[in-house]
Amino acid sequence: MEQSSLLLFLRRMFRRKLVLVAFVVLCAIMLMALLAPWIAPHEPTTIRVVRRLKPPSELNWLGTDEFGRDILSRIVYGARASLGIGLAVVLVSMTVGTLFGLMAGYFRSLDGIIMRVVDALMALPDILLAIFLVAVLGASAFNVVLALSIVYTPRVIRVVRASTLVIRELPFVEAARALGVSTRRILSVHILLNVASPVLVQATFIFAYAVLAEAGLSFLGAGVPPELPTWGTMIASGQQYADQAFWVVLFPGLAIVLAALSLQVVGDGLRDMLDPKLRKAL
Amino acid sequence: MWLKLGRRLGSLVIVMFLVATMVFFLTRLAPGDPAALMLGDQATAEDIARLRQVYGLDKPILVQFILWLKEIATGNLGQSIFLQRPVIQAIAERAEPTFFLALFSVSVAALVGIPAGIASAVWRGRLVDQIVSGLAMLAANIPSFWLGLIFIQLFAVRLGWFPVAGYGEPGAPFMERVLHLALPATVLGIVNSALIVRFTRASMLDVLSEDYVRTARSKGLSEVRVVLRHAFGNALVPIITVVGLTAALLVGGAIVTETVFGLPGIGNLVVSAVLRRDYPVIQGALIVVAGIYVLINLLIDIIYTFVDPRVRY
């Protein structure tokens, strides 16, 4: 039974070919990040000044950067940092956001305070809030994760709160309460399981935003240290050579677009799949 | 109406108070003593102590906070550490490029996004719809700074149609400013059009299945008139919201694009303030940007009442 419902889920999800393609691309990028040391054709940090700014060739498929480092290898390794940071942001903002969202939606007394703070955080553009937080906390991979988590948690809170408000009034919650189920259990089992699908959809979107935002922060010099190869730092350090060697900027950017786009398409597929209202319309 | 508007203003004040609180206390998390930072490496202990007194940094933090709030409430955002002038003045000097960039970008986004959204709703599920939705999805996932760099290479460096960067000489004619803003506004417009496409499409789809649209059609009105007047007119509220919010977010959200194109706007000011740890400027810019955001939100709500008489305050 379990297996057939999973199969049905996957069949529905991948009915749109584009979603399937995006999912495959996403898996490929993730695998690339995981297996970087085995896939990368060169060492990402080996400097070979004689081969600096060489165009794509048989030796360096995507060309070399200003230090003669192989761009393809750096993109492969960069996937680790870029996706790792994105994933960490997703995990932190999901956990914290779900917790506060449940509280805001379930306890009327907390709703006002939590939502006003959410409003205040959302009154600042993502990248502006992020750059401020990184400036205050100091530029490091850990602080970039922290800053971006603070930026994206309010979105999760909003989604979870909205769903909780609806679910709280449904008969099965009332029944659970009448049976003497503790508030904690109602929240952590009965309601949490029912807000899981909108949260999951939001997770894929936040993953995409976080990958884009990390690149933006690195580009501004307010992200991870420039020695760490991420797609953002590659573009940042390559931009002054764009006149002579466009590939230095082009390919890391394409990696960002590909990763963010496939996350977004998979998220869209999930949403269409999980939203009963949309499912009918399709 | 006045009561509701009053309540709305009340919550606006609360949100701004929370923004200010957040900005103040988060800034204090920063390592290092602000006074020592201002004076640099050469400062003696007495210098630092004196400056701490001048800025009230020797008082308890809550007292400092209340004093700071008082200053902000009267429009004084403090003194920039590096620029030797009041923060509010520094922001005002940088406001023009940011204002026009936001205005032009939103115009581009709306001019591209609204017709595309209408078309994909009218021809729902057809090729047009698929192409528009696909392009919108793509646009939303392009990093604006990267697209900016590519556009600079293509249209400024290789083709030479536009200036590579900057905002022109001081006192340059307006047309030259427009030329400098064309590329950055196009980049930001494209990247931000995706949300407008989505909202327009969804809103049009809702309206197109209404009875009055069928009535309009059965009266024998032309399809163009049905779509543009009867349907679009009624689909406007969410579209105005999303266009307004895009404009609001662009005021502070164009940081990266301003940096790429070397535009001397508020975003550029913030980035250099961050790199120099000029906290008063960062704080001031955050408060101004948040203030503009909540004000535009209020404005959108007021516009509703004109567009849709059913919305009442």
Number of CB atoms found within 10 A of residue B93's CB: 13
Supply the pLDDT for residue A279: 47
d(CA B250, CA A109): 34
What contacts A142, CB < 8 A, 6 or more positions away? Answer: none
The residue whose two tokens read 């870029």 is A82
Structure tokens at B277: 């740890």
Please give the single-letter amino acid code of residue B18: L
d(CA A57, CA A55): 6
Q: Does B131 touch chain A (CB under 8 A)?
A: no
Give ranges for CATH 1.10.3720.10 in chain B. 88-312
Q: Where are the alpha helices (DSSP H) in A65-191?
A: 71-106, 108-122, 126-137, 141-168, 171-178, 183-185
pLDDT at B263 over 50: yes
Which CATH code, of 1.25.40.10, 1.10.3720.10, 3.90.1150.10, 1.20.1090.10, is assigned to B88-312? 1.10.3720.10
Considering only CA atoms, which of B292, B294, B272 is closest in space to residue B281?
A: B272
pLDDT at A161 over 60: yes
CATH superfamily, with its number, for domain A65-279:
MetI-like (1.10.3720.10)
What contacts B215, CB < 8 A, 6 or more positions away? Answer: none
Considering only CA atoms, which of A71, A77, A127 is closest in space to residue A230?
A: A77
* pLDDT (tens digit per residue) in B131-190: 998 899 899 899 988 999 999 888 888 888 888 777 777 777 878 888 888 899 999 999
pLDDT band, residue A1 (cuts 50/70/90): very low
d(CA B80, CA B71): 15
Considering only CA atoms, which of B203, B224, B226 is closest in space to residue B215?
A: B226
d(CA A29, CA A80): 9
Query: What are the distances in angstroms from CA B144 to CA A26, A43, B184, B253?
Result: 22, 30, 9, 11
Taking the alpha carbons of A141, A142, A146, A147 in that order, is the dihedral positive or negative?
Answer: negative
* pLDDT (tens digit per residue) in B208-262: 888 888 888 888 888 888 888 888 888 888 888 889 888 888 887 788 889 888 8
Number of CB atoms found within 10 A of residue B286's CB: 25
d(CA A201, CA A198): 5
Q: Where are the alpha helices (DSSP H) in B30-163?
A: 34-39, 45-54, 61-73, 87-122, 127-140, 144-151
Q: Does A121 touch chain B (CB under 8 A)?
A: yes
Beta-carbon separation of A243 and B143 below 8 A: no
d(CA A16, CA B137): 15
d(CA B215, CA B84): 66
Q: Does A137 touch chain B (CB under 8 A)?
A: yes
More confident residue, A169 or B32: A169
Supply the pLDDT for residue A157: 94
Selection from A86-95, A240-249, B33-42, B223-232 with the highest mean pLDDT = A86-95
Residue of B nearest to A118 (CA): B15
Supply the pLDDT for residue B130: 87
Considering only CA atoms, which of A87, A88, A106, A91 is closest in space to residue A160?
A: A106
What contacts A30, CB < 8 A, 6 or more positions away? Answer: A83
Beta-carbon separation of A136 and B137 below 8 A: no
Beta-carbon separation of A117 and B137 below 8 A: no
d(CA A14, CA A160): 26
C-beta separation of A140 from A123 below 8 A = no
Q: Does B130 touch chain A (CB under 8 A)?
A: no
Supply the pLDDT for residue A280: 44
Beta-carbon separation of A243 and B153 below 8 A: yes
Q: Does A120 touch chain B (CB under 8 A)?
A: yes
pLDDT at B66 over 70: yes
Q: How many CA atoms lie within 13 A of A152 on its CB side?
A: 30
Q: Tell me, what DSSP letter sits at residue B86?
A: B
Phi/psi of residue A70, nearest 5 degrees: -75, 125
E strand residue ranges, chain A = none
* pLDDT (tens digit per residue) in A64-95: 777 778 888 888 888 888 899 999 999 999 99
Q: What is the nearest CA distance from B282 to chain A, expressed in angstroms? A: 7
* pLDDT (tens digit per residue) in B186-208: 999 999 998 899 889 988 888 88
Residue of A nearest to B296 (CA): A123
Structure tokens at B47: 């210098």
Helices A247-274, A17-34: axis angle to 10 degrees equals: 130
Supply the pLDDT for residue A282: 40
Considering only CA atoms, which of A240, A267, A237 is closest in space to residue A252?
A: A237
Structure tokens at A268: 């869209």
Considering only CA atoms, which of A30, A41, A39 is closest in space to residue A80?
A: A30
Q: Does A76 touch chain B (CB under 8 A)?
A: no
Q: Does B136 touch chain A (CB under 8 A)?
A: no
d(CA B20, CA B286): 9
Please give the single-letter amino acid code of residue B134: G
Considering only CA atoms, which of A88, A89, A55, A60 is closest in space to residue A74?
A: A60
Q: Does B158 touch chain A (CB under 8 A)?
A: no
Beta-carbon separation of A125 and B256 below 8 A: no
* Interface with chain B: mutation pick from A116, A124, A144, A250, highest number of B CBs within 10 Å: A124
d(CA B200, CA B140): 15
Taking the alpha carbons of B33, B39, B45, B46 in that order, is the dihedral positive or negative?
Answer: negative
d(CA A262, CA B191): 17
C-beta separation of B287 from B23 below 8 A = yes
* pLDDT (tens digit per residue) in B80-122: 777 778 888 888 888 888 999 999 999 999 999 999 999 998 8
What contacts A162, CB < 8 A, 6 or more positions away? Answer: A105
Query: Which residues is B86 bridged to in the sheet?
Result: B79
* pLDDT (tens digit per residue) in A164-212: 988 888 888 888 888 988 888 888 888 888 888 888 888 999 999 999 9
Supply the pLDDT for residue A249: 87
Name chain B contacts of A256, Cβ cutoff 8 Å: 143, 146
Q: Tell me, what DSSP letter sits at residue A59?
A: S
d(CA B212, CA B220): 13
Under DSSP, is residue A282 helix (H, G, I), strand (E, B) or coil? coil
Query: Which residues is B79 bridged to in the sheet?
Result: B86
d(CA A136, CA A143): 9
The residue whose two tokens read 């081969």 is A51
Q: Taking residues B10-23, report their average pLDDT.
A: 88
Q: How big is the CA angle at B304 (ends B303 and B309), to the nearest 5 degrees? A: 120
